[in-house]
Each structure stands twice: as C-alpha cells, then as structure tokens.
Amino acid sequence: MRLRDVLEQPGARLPVLTGEADLDRPLKAAFTTDLLDPGRYLTGGEMVLTGLMWRREPADSELFVSSLAKAGIAALGAGEGLAGPVPDDLIDACRRHRVPLFAVPADVSFRAITDRITTVLWSEREVGARSRQRGLMSALADGADLAEVWPDGSWVVTATGRLVAGTPLRDAPRVAAAFLAAAVLPARCRIAGVDHHLDRLPGGARFVVCADPADLDELVPLAALDLAREERARQVERRLAARLVETLVAEEPPSAALAACGLAAAGTHLVLVASVEAAMLDELVHPAEAAVAATAGGSVAVVPVDDPVAFLAALRDRAGHLAIAAPLAIGVSEPSSAPGGLAGALTEAGHAHAYALERPGRARVVSCAELASHDLLLAALPASTRRAFAERLLAPLAAYDATHRADLLRTLEAFLACDGSWTRCAALLHVHVNTLRYRVKRISDLTGRDLDAFTDRVDFHLALRLRA
C-alpha cells in the first residue's frame, strides 16, 4: 500500500502540506500518538497520526519530527480538530527531515484513516500470502524439498526439538517443550525475549514456528502437505516393518524381512515396544535407520545400533522431553547380535514394556538389562493377575496395620532384606528381638505362611515387589 492510496481515497480531504514527491512511499501500518518522542515505539514504514497535544512551543516540532525521521516513518498526519491549522514550525521541520506531512481536517476522523489502511493492508497481505502459498505448494508438487522452499523467519520443528526446515533456531528444545506443554494451539511462547507462535501438524510429532502469527495460516498447510507426502512414502516402509514383526512373532528366519526393510542382518539390533504412534517412535529413534511398525497398542521398532548404551541414553533424554505432553512407556530388549535372536528380543521388549506401564512417572523407558529374571516373568503376566497375587498375600497385613499400627508390612520387608537374620532385622527396625518374633508370628498367623520356608519367602518377596 502506498501513501498516495490513503491521501487520494474518495470522500476524504487530506491536503498535502509538504513532501509531494514522496507520495509513493510504501505503508505498513498506522500509529496514533501524542507523545513528544514516540520513536522508540516505531519500527519504520508507519503512517503516524497526531492531534498535536505534545506541542507546547515551536521548538517541540523539531524534537517530534526528528524522532519520527530517525524511526523511518512513511508520513505524518496532523489533526486540525483540537489545535487548529497545522503550525508553520511543524511544516518546516517536516520539510527539513523529508517527512511527508498532510493535514487531517476536523471533519475527518483518525479512525476512518486507520480503518482504511488496515483494510487495504490485510487485503494485500491476503493476496500476497495466497500467491506465495500457491508458489510454494507448486514447488513442492514439482519435487522440491521443504527445506529448499521454506521462508526465513519460520521453522518446522519436531517434538524432540529437531529442526526439519528453516534457518538455525535458537532454543529449539525449549520451543519444543513449550509446544508440548501448550494447553491450546495455536499458542505463543516467549523465550529469551523473543516471541514464537506455534501450531501443530497432523500426528503431533511436528509443529510450525513463526515469528509473525499471521504466517501460520499460510505455512501450516504447506508443512502439512509435505508431511503427508512423506507419510505416503513411509507407508511402504511401515508395511515392510509390519511384515518383519510378523516374522519375529512367528519365529521365522528374519534375514529376508530385514533386507526388505533396508537393514543388514549383520550387526547389533535392539527391539523397542512403545505406547506411542509409529511417527513419534520414528522421531525418538532418529537418526537411526530403523524399521518402525504400527501396532494396535502403539508401535514396534527394530533398530540397528553401534553403541546400545549411548542409544539408550539418547532415547531416555528424548522420551523425557516428549513426556511433557503425556506419559509414555517404552520397553527395550537386550542387544541382539544375530538375526536368530530377534524373536526373543521382541518378547523381551514386550515384557519390559509391560513392566514400564506399571512404573510411576511420565517417561518410563525400561531396558531388559535393568530387570532381574523374576521381573521379566512377572511382566509377562496380566496386570490383573499380578495385582490379585499381591493383594491375596498382603491384604491381611495391610488391614491389620491400619487397625493396630503394627508395622507388619515394614517388618516383613526388613526381615526378607536381612535374609531372615533375627538380630540384624531387630537392629534395623530398632526393636527387641522378642518384639520382632511376635510380629513375625503375627504375619504367619494372618497369612498362613511360614517365613522359615524358602518358598513362602519367595512368594512374599514377589508380592512386595508387585505392591511397590
């Protein structure tokens, strides 16, 4: 929009007092002020409207206009409704600083001028945005990568903080955390004094960040188009990965299925079972070239790794970021160095995942290496079975403790931890050995179990683990 478009609009008299040669200056906004030094609030390209309330003496005009000129405004409109005709000292100051000046007669409101500017600017922006969007989408349709056509001042970021498109984004992990924590989208977050405007893409694994919130309407569809194109390409990969998982479940030789997924049979692999969508698990294991399959309850991945310990640490870190939005559970197998071991690795990962689901916290990544053998056995049982076992054995003790404050559960735990040593357990609990003997007898009477019997001790140990 040009200054001339405002001054020459039908039905409004806005006489130009100086600067006739600069009427083709572009306008980007309207700004109304009666401050004597408004420059710090201006960014350049504005049409400034003023009622001249700042003017107390002729010298004020020089200070006012010099502030506007330094800010790079497009023009100044001086209202005649309150102070009368525009003073000569203001006209002279505008001429010296080459600031176009026009008068706003008393019968013309500032509101009418700003409405006109806003309407035209938004119209032009809409036309320009649609034209740019069509051009960008056309480039994508012709095979261009999103990163090649993505405009500056905006970004596509994953939920783990990885940049997909755009120039380097400062504090990308913090922006991703703000995206995951947002209760409503689109959202705005302010990080290190900079405003970021965010909106999600389908699936929730990626989002768009813009410095200008108006750009979201244009760029979110563009990024969504590219993501849809990427997901269509991944559909074949997902089907091949699903076939690999079926092969492991059936305990068939997996070498051919691994090759179909682009994975070498040689080398070390981990199997992951996760309660997140396949697209999110893809992001969690990036940059590994994994085979990721969607399942009814989440997803499964077969991941080639060079350093299982480093991979697990990175996985836990990324999972911790994602858990801001919702709790997640991931089970990780022991490393498998031969294709024949992958079927067992899938079973291990499934058991570890079941164990992770029972753990407290939001980011629950459990590796089979962390679990004792009985933990794996327990994880393979249905949750209802595990709860019933612990309840049947320990409920009488919990009820007795609630009524008599007898500390039987704590006594049982300490007695097992001390391997049945009466003296060590009594010292640990700070009670007399006779008191300990009385409590242990009470435990036996209430449960019908004998703590001198090895099998009963095992049952109590497992029940306490399940209750924790």
Residue 136 lies in a domain: no
Q: Is the predicted pLDDT of residue 398 greater than 60, yes or no? A: yes
Name the least confident of 140-144, 273-277, 285-289, 432-436: 140-144
Residue 230 lies in a domain: no
Which has more confidence, 138 or 396?
396
pLDDT band at 369 (very low <50, low <70, confident <90, very high): confident
Q: At which of 348, 379, 410 does a domain end?
A: 379
Residue 124 lies in a domain: no
Q: Is the predicted pLDDT of residue 18 greater than 70, yes or no? A: yes
Angle at 70 between CA 66 and CA 74, to 5 degrees: 95
Same domain for 241 and 373:
yes
pLDDT on residue 376? 55
Amino acid residing at 14: L
Strand order in the sheet with 163-165: 163-165, 154-158, 206-210, 194-200, 187-191
Read off the CATH number of the domain in which 86 is found: 3.40.1390.20
pLDDT band at 372 (very low <50, low <70, confident <90, very high): low
pLDDT on residue 132? 60
Read off the CATH number of the domain in which 426 is found: 1.10.10.2840
Residue 258 lies in a domain: yes
Mean pLDDT of 302-321: 91
pLDDT on residue 134? 66
Same domain for 407 and 373:
no
Mean pLDDT of 217-234: 84
Q: How far apart are CA 85 and CA 105, in angstroms?
A: 9
Residue 400: which domain range? 383-467
Residues 6+ apart with CB under 8 A from 242: 293, 294
Residue 420 lies in a domain: yes
Concatenate the DSSP letters of all residues of 326-372 into one string. Answer: S-EEEEEPPPB-SGGGHHHHHHHHHHHHHHHHHSSSSEEEEEGGGS-
Query: Can you say whether residue 84 is alpha, beta or left, with left for phi > 0 and alpha for psi between -120 and 50 degrees?
Result: left
Q: At what angle do helices 433-447 and 383-404 cross, to 10 degrees?
A: 130
Same domain for 241 and 306:
yes
Same domain for 438 and 371:
no
Same domain for 305 and 250:
yes
Residue 343 lies in a domain: yes
Read off the CATH number of the domain in which 344 is found: 3.30.70
Into how many domains does the chain fold?
Answer: 4
Same domain for 270 and 365:
yes
Same domain for 375 and 239:
yes
Q: How far apart are CA 440 and CA 418, in angstroms?
A: 13
Same domain for 348 and 308:
yes
Q: At which of 379, 405, 432 does a domain end?
A: 379
Q: How far apart are CA 259 and CA 278, in angstroms?
A: 20
Same domain for 246 and 176:
no
Mean pLDDT of 67-85: 88
Same domain for 375 and 260:
yes
pLDDT on residue 143? 64
Closest listed residue to residue 280, CA positions, set 349, 234, 229: 234
Strand order in the sheet with 291-295: 291-295, 298-305, 268-274, 328-332, 363-367
Q: Is the predicted pLDDT of residue 454 greater than 70, yes or no? A: yes
Q: With contact defined as beta carbons under 8 Å apart, do 282 and 292 qualify? A: yes
In eight-state DSSP terms, residue 26 is B
Q: At what angle do helices 454-467 and 383-404 cross, to 10 degrees?
A: 90
Q: At which of 224, 243, 271 does a domain end?
A: 224
pLDDT band at 11 (very low <50, low <70, confident <90, very high): low
Torsion, Cα of 202, 204, 207, 213 (10° steps):
80
Q: How far apart are CA 6 and CA 77, in angstroms?
A: 11
Q: What is the pTM of this model?
A: 0.55
pLDDT on residue 466? 74
Same domain for 11 and 41:
yes
Strand residues in 113-230 grouped as ranges (E): 154-158, 163-165, 187-191, 194-200, 206-210
Residue 408 lies in a domain: yes
Same domain for 390 and 455:
yes
Residue 347 lies in a domain: yes
